[in-house]
Amino acid sequence: MIETRVSRGIVSTYMDKLQRNLELDVAIVGGGPSGIVAAYYLAKAGLKVAQFDRKLAPGGGMWGGAMMFNQIVIQEEAMDIVCDFHINYQPLDEGLYTMDSVESTSALLYHAVHAGATIFNCYSVEDVIFKDNKVSGVVVNWTPVLREGLHVDPLNILAKVVVDGTGHDSEIAATVARKNGIRLATETGGVIGERSLDVVAGEDEVVKGTKEIYPGLYVCGMAASAVSGTPRMGPIFGGMLMSGKKVANEIIARLAR
Ligand code: 48F
């Protein structure tokens, strides 16, 4: 019966997808713009990459532009990435471009998955696997399980490296520091917390702060700003895209060794 075939098709292919992703090269936590860009370049380089976002619709803070005015701004330095994702744009004024935030977010997601990354939506990463003083994977649970406070154990997914792309809260870096009595590669050894808005400094420093902060753990996007204590920058997204590309390139160079 077609009713059963539809259900069987979904269950069996979903389970295949999950099984294929139980051991990864790269686990990316958070489906914001920086993480999605990273997923795209990592997948294009042939690495096995999965991305986990707690929401039904990944894309993070990009869908809503600024204050729900659904346009975003990107500077010249990141336009090569905009072109890689085939996003339409309009010149704004010197060195700045504007684009539709819905087209931009959906283009990032489409190209990442099409390039071979797997995105698991409705998955919350509640912890990491921490072995031999190294971050070695992620511990995942259904978002509704956590929202309901149900007493249900998570699943474990091994990864050679984990990327914290969780945005302003840098949840994974904070969890690793809090639970394991270790020091992150920051001035204080912990998550410093993002500073108030400064577009120029924020855009510059988010890319500089994109790096490995503990063996096996990288940060990108606003999580990198939060970890390093650098300014937020608001609805200009070039730094997010460049941060995602930078973390991908660092991981590609490392795993290709
Ligand atoms: O915050 P977010 O969009 O990440 P980003 O790549 O981009 C920041 C910009 O959107 C904007 C900005 C720059 O102009 O200031 O805010 O740094 O997206 C982070 C994603 O991570 C998910 C969350 O649902 C969101 O989609 N997320 C956060 N914590 C977890 C998580 C978690 N523990 N498990 C799974 N997903």
> 60 C-alpha to center of ligand 1: Å?
5
Q: Of 127, 136, 156, which is closest to residue 214 (Cα–Cα)?
A: 136
pLDDT digits (tens, 9 = 90+) for 120-156: 999 999 999 999 999 999 999 999 999 999 999 999 9
Pocket test for ligand 1, best of 96, 222, 227, 237 (most atoms within 8 A of CB): 222
In percent, the amount of the chain with pLDDT more than 70 equals 100
If you take atom 22 of ligand 1, which residue's CA is the nearest one? 30
Q: Of 39, 55, 32, 24, which is closest to residue 121 (Cα–Cα)?
A: 55
3-state secondary structure of 3: helix
pTM attached to this predicted model? 0.98
Helix pair angle (199-208, 238-255), 10° resolution: 10
104 lines ligand 1 (CB under 6 A): no
Residue with tokens 């870096």: 173
Q: Of 216, 245, 198, which is closest to residue 78 (Cα–Cα)?
A: 245
pLDDT digits (tens, 9 = 90+) for 197-234: 999 999 999 999 999 999 999 999 999 999 999 999 99
If you take atom 33 of ligand 1, which residue's CA is the nearest one? 125
Taking a C-beta distance cutoff of 8 angstroms, is the pair 53, 105 a contact?
no
Taking a C-beta distance cutoff of 8 angstroms, is the pair 190, 160 a contact?
no
d(CA 84, CA 31): 18
